[in-house]
């Protein structure tokens, strides 16, 4: 009986140990996921970004089982993205699932790479920085990429730190934060007590407390049992401090501190320098509508929406605006005159175009989001291309012959990927209705980085006084789009600012006449701040449902304005209609990032890819040795059996 009880107790102990082991593996991943969630807008606990990855790094030890790291990392990352991109699911379940399933692989890859680096004794402050930035960049691999929720984006309010983005891009800010995370993780790991020293310490504490606890005990139980715990904590703290100040750790802390201090000094210098390099540009008005994106009735409220924006636009003209910006696709018409003969009915399109021309004539420049189209010959057939476009109207009452067609389309939102190469997948999506519309709504990709020109306030010469580019919707999150607008072939600045028009009404819910904005709205604005710093270009945002704002070339999302009806606090402009007007600052500085792009991100990404190859080759070799070993063992067994 005793033997059976002993066996049962042993089995129970083994089971509990395995459960605790799994729990210990999960908790650090969950902690990192939770902290990465709260550091981003609108919660904005950005200071936690500097320790967010520490639990993750610590748990990726050489002793950890690779299979467990992979599974736990994948499940946690999948839940992290599914939760934080909840606002995508109502729009396109297919896009939401596909992206989450893909990006969930990045955390297991990161975990295995960190495990390998720790096995090879690579300094964690360096390994963590390279790997985390590389993993962030790998979000851009699949279907055009999704540059969202980087470590850097949590620091959009930290104006000093983010100035290094004009050299390294947003990846440089992530690199800096990841370095600090790696250093802290390294100090924590180095200060961990090994089992022998911990046991010896506990024994010493018990022996030192024995006389006291014996005297003060009551009914055989110590009243001061908590002394053991207090002494243990004090010992651990003192041990951590002593280990932190050993020579190798001092060197690591000095290196990381020097990098952080250099970033701060550089940021302050660039902010101070801005006073000499920035001049006042024209007065620009940004309109904000508050229209829900209803898939079932796309065109029903087109005229009502147009009239509401026209009323705001006329108010902006009276206030003295020189350029008025409307949100993305808020003019629900095709404004290309060459396409009208091919349409079944063009009267509505002509009427809206005429109204826009008359509104601009003698008043101000007007930039509107609408549908672009062109008819071209493809083989023996005519093909009508459709675009998400920006049209520009001039004060002489004419429409600019150039238009900007969106270059970076959103998969599943604006274009159905693989519809030609994988027709079965396309047909499946149409049947199960995991997409926004019940028809093929795919748009065509734009190809030209169109620059619009406007004369200065007091200019009598025919040459343009100001130039600007347009980025539509999520193009504001893609670094290369803004960068290609910034410079000409001779690396001279070719535009004075950027305009970001967007329709974020997809991600706002209207319930009982109450607006329920999602986390997407402030996060979208935060990401755009980095495009401003990277290229030293102010960004004027005009967004349906918000956030419409002015971001200066230092990445500051400006509160207040010269005239308008929106709240003074920029990040509070969600789920409402209104407008604001302000003077755009023009920055003359040309940046290293504008010339060379995401060089740091690509270097880090290359390191991750190289490390993945090394791990795959190493795994294949180990598997081969295992097969050979077992194969030879079976052969020997057969021979002996034959004898």
Integer Cα distance of 498 and 550 in angstroms:
10
pLDDT at 378 over 90: no
Least confident range from 60-64, 375-379, 528-532, 628-632: namely 628-632
Is 3.60.110.10 the CATH classification of the domain at 271-408+445-596? yes
**Burial of residue 467, with CB atoms counted within 10 A of its CB: 0-12 exposed, 13-18 middle, 19 or more buried:** middle
In sequence order, which ranges of 192-296 are alpha helices (DSSP H)?
195-215, 226-244, 247-277
Those residues with Cβ within 8 angstroms of residue 410's Cβ, 6 or more apart along the chain or in another chain: 95, 144, 473, 474
Residue with the bigger pLDDT between 604 and 422: it is: 604
Integer Cα distance of 76 and 464 in angstroms:
53
Q: What was the pLDDT predicted at 221?
A: 46
Nearest one of 303, 391, 299 to 339, comparing CA atoms? 391
The two beta strands, 381-393 and 365-378, are antiparallel
Q: What was the pLDDT predicted at 95?
A: 82
Q: What was the pLDDT predicted at 103?
A: 94
**Burial of residue 42, with CB atoms counted within 10 A of its CB: 0-12 exposed, 13-18 middle, 19 or more buried:** middle
Q: What is the pLDDT of residues 38-61, one digit of tens each?
A: 999 999 999 999 999 999 999 999
pTM: 0.86
Integer Cα distance of 587 and 596 in angstroms:
19
CATH 3.60.110.10 residue window(s) in the chain: 271-408+445-596
Least confident range from 36-40, 64-68, 313-317, 591-595: namely 64-68
Nearest one of 240, 252, 168, 147 to 197, comparing CA atoms? 240
Q: Which pLDDT band holds residue 514 (cuts at 50, 70, 90)?
A: confident
∠ CA 500-503-508, nearest 5°, is 130
Q: What is the pLDDT of residues 251-263, one digit of tens each?
A: 999 999 999 999 9
Mean pLDDT, range 570-575, rounded to an integer: 95
Mean pLDDT, range 235-254, rounded to an integer: 74
Tell me which H or E stretch contains 59. helix 54-59
Least confident range from 154-168, 412-426, 532-546: namely 412-426
pLDDT at 264 over 60: yes
């Amino acid at each position: 009986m005793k033997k059976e009880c002993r066996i049962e107790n042993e089995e129970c102990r083994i089971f509990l140990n395995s459960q605790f082991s799994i729990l210990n593996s999960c908790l650090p991943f969950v902690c990192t996921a939770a902290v990465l969630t709260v550091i981003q807008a609108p919660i904005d606990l950005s200071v936690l970004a500097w320790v967010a990855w520490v639990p993750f790094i610590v748990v990726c030890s050489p002793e950890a089982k690779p299979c467990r790291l992979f599974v736990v990392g994948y499940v946690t990352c999948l839940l992290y993205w599914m939760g934080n991109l909840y606002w995508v699911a109502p729009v396109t379940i297919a896009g939401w699932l596909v992206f989450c399933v893909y990006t969930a692989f990045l955390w297991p890859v990161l975990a295995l790479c960190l495990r390998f680096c720790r096995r090879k004794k690579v300094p964690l402050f360096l390994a963590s920085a390279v790997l985390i930035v590389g993993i962030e960049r790998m979000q851009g691999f699949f279907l055009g990429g999704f540059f969202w929720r980087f470590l850097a984006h949590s620091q959009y309010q930290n104006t000093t730190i983010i100035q290094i983005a004009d050299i390294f891009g947003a990846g440089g800010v992530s690199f800096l934060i990841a370095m600090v995370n790696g250093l802290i993780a390294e100090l924590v790991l180095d200060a961990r007590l090994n089992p022998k020293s911990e046991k010896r310490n506990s024994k010493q504490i018990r022996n030192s407390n024995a006389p006291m606890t014996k005297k003060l005990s009551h009914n055989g139980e110590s009243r001061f049992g908590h002394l053991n715990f207090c002494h243990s904590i004090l010992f651990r703290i003192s041990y951590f401090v002593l280990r932190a100040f050993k020579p190798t750790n001092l060197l690591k802390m000095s290196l990381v501190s020097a990098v952080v201090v250099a970033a701060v000094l550089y940021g302050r210098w660039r902010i101070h320098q801005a006073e000499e390099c920035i001049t006042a540009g024209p007065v620009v008005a940004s309109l904000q509508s508050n229209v829900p994106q209803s898939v079932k009735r796309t065109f029903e409220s087109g005229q009502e929406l147009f009239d509401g924006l026209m009323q705001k636009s006329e108010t902006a003209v009276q206030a003295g605006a020189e350029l008025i910006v409307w949100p993305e696709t808020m003019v629900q018409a095709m404004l290309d005159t060459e396409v009208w003969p091919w349409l079944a009915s063009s009267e509505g399109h002509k009427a809206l175009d005429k109204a826009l021309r008359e509104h601009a004539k003698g008043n101000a420049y007007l930039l509107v989001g609408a549908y672009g189209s062109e008819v071209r010959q493809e083989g023996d057939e005519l093909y009508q291309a459709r675009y998400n476009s920006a049209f520009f109207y001039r004060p002489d009452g004419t429409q600019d012959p150039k238009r900007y067609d969106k270059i970076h389309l959103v998969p599943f939102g604006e274009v159905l990927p693989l519809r030609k190469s994988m027709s079965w997948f396309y047909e499946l999506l149409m049947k199960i209705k995991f997409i926004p519309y019940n028809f093929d709504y795919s748009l065509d990709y734009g190809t030209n980085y169109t620059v619009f020109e406007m004369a200065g306030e007091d200019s009598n010469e025919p040459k343009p006084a100001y130039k600007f580019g347009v980025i539509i919707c999520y193009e504001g999150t893609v670094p290369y789009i803004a960068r290609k607008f910034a410079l000409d072939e001779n690396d001279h600045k070719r535009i004075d600012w950027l305009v970001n028009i967007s329709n974020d009404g997809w991600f706002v819910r209207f319930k009982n006449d109450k607006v329920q904005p999602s986390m997407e709205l402030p996060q979208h604005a935060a990401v755009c701040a980095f495009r401003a710093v990277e290229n030293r270009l102010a960004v004027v945002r005009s967004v349906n449902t918000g956030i419409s704002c002015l971001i200066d070339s230092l990445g500051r999302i400006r509160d207040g304005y010269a005239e308008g009806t929106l709240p003074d606090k920029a990040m509070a402009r969600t789920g409402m209609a209104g407008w604001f007007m302000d003077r755009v600052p023009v920055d003359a500085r040309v940046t290293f990032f504008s010339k060379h792009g995401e060089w740091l991100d690509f270097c880090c990404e290359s390191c991750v890819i190289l490390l993945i190859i090394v791990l795959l080759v190493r795994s294949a070799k180990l598997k081969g040795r295992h097969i050979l070993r077992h194969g030879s063992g079976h052969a020997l067994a057969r021979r002996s059996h034959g004898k």
